[in-house]
Amino acid sequence: MLAAVTVSGRPLCLTCAPAFALDEPGIDDVATLIWLPHLDQGALGRCVTALHVAAKTAGHTVYDQGLSGEALSAKRAFEALLSCRLGALEKIGTDRPSLYRSALKSLSRNPFPEAHETGLRILMRGTWFPDNPRRYLDAAQEWAVSR
């Protein structure tokens, strides 16, 4: 089941959870910052889940080579989202969630608008934290099978 983690008692899907886990060790391996002002974090999460599941349905990941059909389309769409890291780099100088979070924590007051106002989004890469790096792909596989 993709809604397998909770944050403050609220169930979250594994794709959305990294947006609430910026202090976790390994966050930069799990997610990246992108600039995508025309799509909110929730819609992005659903799109990314669909892309990973489409690739898994064909027995692949969005990082595999030599894909065709739906898996290739999912890979191309995911690569287009990954390219939005350049916007984050231009706007705030980093695409690493950990650096952004630590910079915000070091300020006495937050001079930046909220992420939903700026266009910054958290893009799930398709892995999980060091304690269980395959957790996300295993969940995507489970969802692909039940599809």
14-67 pLDDT, tens digit each: 888 888 888 888 999 999 999 999 999 989 999 999 999 999 999 999 999 999
Residue 14: strand, helix, or coil: coil
**CA 49 to chain CA centroid, nearest Å:** 9
Residue 34: strand, helix, or coil: strand
Rg (CA), the chain: 15
* CA gap 52, 21 in Å, rounded: 20
Instruction: State residue 102's pLDDT score.
Output: 67
pTM: 0.83
CA distances 96 to 52, 99, 146, Å, are: 21, 6, 33
